[in-house]
Chains A and B, each alone.
Chain A
Amino acid sequence: MSRYAVNSLLYRLKKDTAYRALFLREPEAALADVDLTDDERAAFLARDARRINELGGFLHLVMSVPGIAAH
């Protein structure tokens, strides 16, 4: 199963406009309290959609989160 932490973060980034704006403005601050591995954190900081997907990020979320979307 896809990793919960990665996907719950993707879901929050898609649905929570204020949190998404913070992530796009100050990504390190936005992720400070999120429980991620070093690999996962690096993928989000790089907004590397393919890597996030490889790490268990649900494809349809990766394709549709504004600011990360790769399609």
Chain B
Amino acid sequence: MGRIVFAGAMSHVLDPDYYDHACGQVGRRMVEEIMAEIRRMGDRCVAARPDALVIVADDHLNAFSFNAVPALCVRVGTHVDRMVQEEAEAFDRALEGMPLRYPLHEALAATILERGLQDGFDLAFSWEAPLDHAFLSPANTMYGQRPLPPLVPIWVNCFVAPQPTAARCFALGRHIARAVAASPWNVAIIGTGGLSHFPELSLARVGETDTVFDRKILHWLAEAEYEPLSALTADELHKAGEHELLNWIVVAGAVTPARAELRYFGELPRINLTAVEWALP
């Protein structure tokens, strides 16, 4: 019987140059601090010897465009390429220098997909969507020069309204947990993005965060209070700039009733850089 052997969540633009540009020296220092914590999380993940790494993250209109915006989507196939953006700007530059191709855990993806269809969880699936920084910046930071385990990328539509509900994201996590339990594999899972930034997705408000809201979420995660977490509305998430929390909520659903331990929280005038790791039985 398979089990989840590592679970974490973390900010996903892990690029000192980006935060130096956005916030100056304090930005560079804090992102280097959180990256050091995430590398230690990676050490523990490696020690748990996962057969697969599930990454729950969002698209930034890189993988999917206006031909389809899946609410929830799993990547299938044997391998996945990283996004290549010519003349990359901002967060897209975080991808530069990363390997271009990664193996996928085809069988686990198929299990999540097919079992979901039987159980009322109709995930979209893609053979072609590339991965942007939301997936690869945390994974490569965790693993460094070590080879990544086969990936199972899962997209949550965090940004293009109307989004899936927090409750549905938590239920997706429960579904992933059941699929893993019925499989023979040990699985690591991470959710990426956040915490608060870009309230209302307004360029005029880039630079604002909501530390009170973040502290409330971290308290719920630390106490495994997942009912209020799952009851958050799209409007609340939008106003606080907590869009990407949906990815974290999937992981919470996958490991409930485990509690999350705070690994890093750093307030910047752009985003509150955050990393947590769940204490698994």
A residues sitting closer than 8 Å to B (CB atoms) are: 1-2, 4, 7-8, 11, 14-15, 17, 20, 49-50, 53-54, 58-67, 69-71
Contacts and interface: CB of A to CB of B under 8 A. Distances in A.
Secondary structure dominating the interface of A:
helix
B48 interface: no
A11 B65 contact: yes
A35 to B, nearest CB: 14
Interface in B186-224: 198, 201-204, 206
A53 B88 contact: no
A32 B129 CA distance: 31
Contacts of B160: 1-2, 58
B61 A60 contact: yes
Contacts of B61: 7, 11, 58, 60-61
B159 to A, nearest CB: 7
Contacts of A54: 202-204
Identify the 9 closest CB pairs spanning chains A and B, nearest first: A66-B87, A53-B203, A69-B89, A60-B60, A59-B201, A71-B90, A64-B89, A64-B90, A50-B203
B32 to A, nearest CB: 20
B89 A66 contact: yes
Interface in B29-62: 60-61
Interface string B149-189: 00000000001111000000000000000000000000000
